[in-house]
Amino acid sequence: MEQVRIGMIGYKFMGKAHSHAYRDLPMFFPDTAKPVMKVIGGRNGEAVRRAAAQFGWEEASTDWREIVLRDDIDLIDINAPSDAHKEIALAAAKAGKHLFCEKPLALSLGDAREMLQAAEEAGVKHMVGFNYRFAPAVRLAKKLIEDGRLGRVYHFRAVFLQDWILDPDFPLVWRLDKRVAGSGAHGDLGAHLIDMARYLVGEMTEVVGMSETFVKERPMPSEMTGLSAQGSKDAPKGEVTVDDATLFLARFANGALGSFEATRFAAGHRCTNGFEINGSLGSVKFDFERMNELQVYFKDDPADVQGFRRVLATDPAHAYSEAWWPPGHTIGYEHTFIHEMVEMMQALQENRQPVPNFHDGVSCQAVLEAVERSIDEKRWISIADM
Residues 230-259 that bind its own copies (CB under 8 A): 245, 247-249, 251, 255, 257, 259
Q: Taking CB under 8 A as the rule, does residue 281 contact its own copies?
A: yes
- Can you tell me the distance from the alpha carbon of 7 to that of 292, in angstroms, rounded to the nearest whole number? 31
| Whole-Å CA distances, 377 to 6, 102, 108 | 43, 29, 18
Choose, by CB under 8 A, the member of 2, 71, 234, 328 that binds its own copies: 328
Q: Shortest Cβ distance from residue 50 to its own copies (Å)?
A: 9
Choose, by CB under 8 A, the member of 179, 216, 233, 310 that binds its own copies: 310
Q: Taking CB under 8 A as the rule, does residue 297 contact its own copies?
A: yes
Q: Taking CB under 8 A as the rule, does residue 163 contact its own copies?
A: yes
Contact 216, 178 (CB under 8 A): no
Report the residue number, 114 or 206, with the smaller CB distance to its own copies. Answer: 206
Choose, by CB under 8 A, the member of 89, 296, 344, 345 that binds its own copies: 296
Report the residue number, 65 or 237, with the smaller CB distance to its own copies. Answer: 237
Residue (of 80, 191, 246) closest to 88 by Cα position: 80
Question: DSSP readout, 272-304?
Answer: EEEEEEEESSEEEEEEGGGTTEEEEEETTS-GG
Choose, by CB under 8 A, the member of 81, 104, 171, 279 that binds its own copies: 279
Q: Shortest Cβ distance from residue 162 to its own copies (Å)?
A: 7
CA 354 remoteness from chain centre: 15
Q: Taking CB under 8 A as the rule, does residue 272 contact its own copies?
A: yes
Q: Shortest Cβ distance from residue 281 to its own copies (Å)?
A: 7
SS3 374: helix
Q: Shortest Cβ distance from residue 339 to its own copies (Å)?
A: 13
- In the Cβ-directed half-sphere of 41, how many Cα atoms lie within 13 Å? 23
The residue type at 24: D
Residues listed for the chain: 386
- Can you tell me the distance from the alpha carbon of 335 to that of 136, in angstroms, rounded to the nearest whole number? 10
Residue (of 137, 163, 193) closest to 335 by Cα position: 137
**x-or-dash pattern for its own copies, window 346-385, by CB under 8 A?**
--------------------------------xxx-----
Choose, by CB under 8 A, the member of 306, 352, 376, 384 that binds its own copies: 306
| 370: phi then psi, degrees, rounded to nearest 5 | -65, -40
Residues 28-67 that bind its own copies (CB under 8 A): 30, 53-56
Q: Taking CB under 8 A as the rule, does residue 305 contact its own copies?
A: yes
**x-or-dash pattern for its own copies, window 116-155, by CB under 8 A?**
------------------------x--xx-----x---xx
- Can you tell me the distance from the alpha carbon of 344 to that of 99, in angstroms, rounded to the nearest whole number? 9
| Whole-Å CA distances, 329 to 21, 143, 153, 323, 325 | 19, 22, 31, 12, 6
Choose, by CB under 8 A, the member of 6, 10, 19, 196 that binds its own copies: 19
Q: Taking CB under 8 A as the rule, does residue 289 contact its own copies?
A: yes
- Can you tell me the distance from the alpha carbon of 32 to that of 4, in angstroms, rounded to the nearest whole number? 10
